[in-house]
Amino acid sequence: MSYIAKNFDRLLGTPGFSDKLLKTHFKLYEGYVTHINRIIDYLKTADTETQEYEEIKRRFAWEFNGMRLHEAYFGNMAKQVEMLDAKSDLAKQIAGSFGSLEAWDKDFRAVSSMRGIGWAVLAWDPEGKRLFNIWINEHDTGHLFYSAPLLVNDVFEHAFIMDYGMERKAYIEAFFKVIDWKVVQKRFTVAAELDGAHSG
């Protein structure tokens, strides 16, 4: 069964993100879905003794993660949002992992502002029962094994340059205003239920 690109048109009209930027970004995401389907089809009948097979197999994570990271990114954005409930279990976990919500906020912005192309991700480590802000580079480098991505920010230039030029901090500010904390909380609830599932 082929993967089907998800429709994120609900984000059109989101404050701080022009429809032109979003539509262009959606099209780029759809390209990852197309390419992962092509790779899967190719691998069904590929000669495993060739260099072509090896290189395409190596490419798999790039295309697959490109698809999933974009889905997580668009999925944790909304036109109308509520602030994170400071009394929620997620907020308490953030404060416990980073010292305070303010310390997490500062660190996530710092990760999002790092030079280079990549992703800033709030990740949950179910074994250690703690959160980390991590940098994922090139889609397939930087993931923490077994961790669950809760909040994803795309900081490749294509995510903001059309609207903000090279003013990445202005883009990050706009992103923070459209984080759908209900979605992030739901991801945390699901991930926390899997605690210890990978032990032993």
What's the pLDDT band for 129 if we cut at 50, 70, 90?
Answer: very high
Do both 115 and 184 map to the same domain? yes
Q: Supply the mean pLDDT for the chain.
A: 94
How far apart, in whole angstroms, are the C-alpha atoms of residue 24 and residue 13? 14
What's the pLDDT band for 195 if we cut at 50, 70, 90?
Answer: low
Place of tokens 């795309």: 154
pTM (2 decimals)? 0.94
How far apart, in whole angstroms, are the C-alpha atoms of residue 111 and residue 153? 10
Q: Which of 137, 126, 103, 139 is nearest to 193 (CA)?
A: 126
Using one digit for the tens of pLDDT, what is the confidence trace for 162-183?
999 999 999 999 999 999 999 9
Residue-range definition of the domain harbouring residue 48: 17-75
**Residue type at 73?**
Y
Q: How many CA atoms lie within 13 A of 171 on its CB side?
A: 21
What's the pLDDT band for 200 if we cut at 50, 70, 90?
Answer: very low
Do both 117 and 175 map to the same domain? yes
Do both 62 and 106 map to the same domain? no
**Dihedral angle, C-alpha 157, 98, 184, 158, nearest 10 °:** 0
Do both 143 and 181 map to the same domain? yes
How far apart, in whole angstroms, are the C-alpha atoms of residue 128 and residue 107? 20
| Number of structural domains found in the chain | 2
